[in-house]
Structure 1
Amino acid sequence: MANNLNSNEYDAYYNRYLKKIPGHVALGILLLENKQEFLSFLEKLKPEDLTYSYAKGKWSVAEVIQHLIDVERIFQYRSLTLARDPGVELPGFDHNAYVTASSVKNRDIQSFKNEFIAVRDAGIGLYESFSEEMLTSKGFVGGSATSCRALGFIVAGHTKHHIEFFKDNYQII
């Protein structure tokens, strides 16, 4: 498991993301490598790809990219909160509602790249600022015990999951 996370640091639902990342890479390095992998994916997109959806009712490429950015921000906020206020209880969020409310139709690939870079770099800086005690501090997210560091690893695995999903289902790269 990622950086020797214990199963009591996250909800079992997130195993699907954590199993996609190497277990021996430090969080900061992982987030940097994962950032480059996602930017490489974005480089392969054509403008018309943003509106593509692999099936009726499924998110478009642009909506998935916005979802990734939204999740990144939310998990950073959760990490900051757990680091500063261990034991806190944070609610879950409805990712479908966030996608529906996003305004991706007016976005281009460069704007997504710029936002992803800004958000990921902010996250890398955030995790680098945490002491070991802060990284292992826990609270509750959506009712499940969660550590600050687990959220960082999960977000990297979540990004990797969607890169693979793009390749397997959207078949645009």
Structure 2
Amino acid sequence: MLSQLKEGEYNSYYATYISKAEYPNIVEGLKNSQKEFVDFIQSIPQEKFIHAYAEGKWTIAEVFQHIIDTERIFAYRALRFARNDKTPIMGFEQDDYVPNSNANNLSQKDLITDFNAVRNCSISLFNSFTDEMLTRIGEASGSPMSARAAGYILAGHQKHHLEVIKERYS
């Protein structure tokens, strides 16, 4: 939620995702968006789940795996920042992850189980942070980021991809 964050808590690249975070409370936002997302994914037929809307684009299964992978990475970043670890964290190349993810060979059920496990861990992690921990800042991909910015990015990133799936794949 952009209104809660101060200048210097995130790179402007992430503003799009943060602006899509609908709840001021990170834990509440992660919980509410979890059910909405899983319900939507369950409504997609399996044959459409491994369909890409254009040549060279990701399938829905690959987008889903990308959301899971990104959540793992940003939760890790939040943990490091909340614990006041000042060691810079390198970025990651999402386009290297997807073709190596095996997502198209996993069932919706398997991906949903994985997503729920990761999301539940994220909820537990953010629930354990104090207000002070949430505002601690570290460095990721050469830019400052607070633990709470990482949390809003998680929720907004998922929302962004939900909108893309609805727009381009439905």
Q: Contact 1:82/1:88 (CA < 8 Å) preserved in 2?
A: no
Aligned-partner residue type, residue 159 of structure 1: Q
1:1-173 mapped onto 2 (5 Å cutoff) = 1-2=1-2, 4-22=4-22, 25-171=24-170
* Percentage identity across paired residues of the two chains: 41
CA drift of 1:20 comes to 1.5
Cα distance change on mapping 1:3 and 1:128 into 2, 3 Å: farther
SS of match in other structure, 1:89: coil
CA distance in 2, matches of 1:69, 1:160: 13
CA distance in 1, matches of 2:101, 2:34: 22
TM-superposition CA deviations, 1:130-171 (whole Å, max 9, x none): 111111110111001100110000110000000000011112
Question: How many residues are aligned here?
Answer: 170
SS of match in other structure, 2:8: helix
TM-superposition CA deviations, 1:74-133 (whole Å, max 9, x none): 011111111113432100000010111111132001011100000000000001111111
CA drift of 1:6 comes to 1.4
Cα distance change on mapping 1:36 and 1:7 into 2, 3 Å: farther
Structure 1: gaps (5+ residues): none
Instruction: Please list every run of at least 4 consecutive aligned residues from structure 1 whose deviation after the TM superposition is greater than 6 angstroms.
Output: none
CA distance in 2, matches of 1:12, 1:74: 19
CA distance in 2, matches of 1:36, 1:124: 13
TM-score norm. by structure 2 comes to 0.95
SS of match in other structure, 1:30: helix
SS of match in other structure, 2:139: strand
SS of match in other structure, 1:67: helix
CA distance in 1, matches of 2:124, 2:86: 23
CA drift of 1:3 comes to 5.7
CA distance in 1, matches of 2:2, 2:108: 31
CA distance in 2, matches of 1:53, 1:80: 34
Structure 2: gaps (5+ residues): none
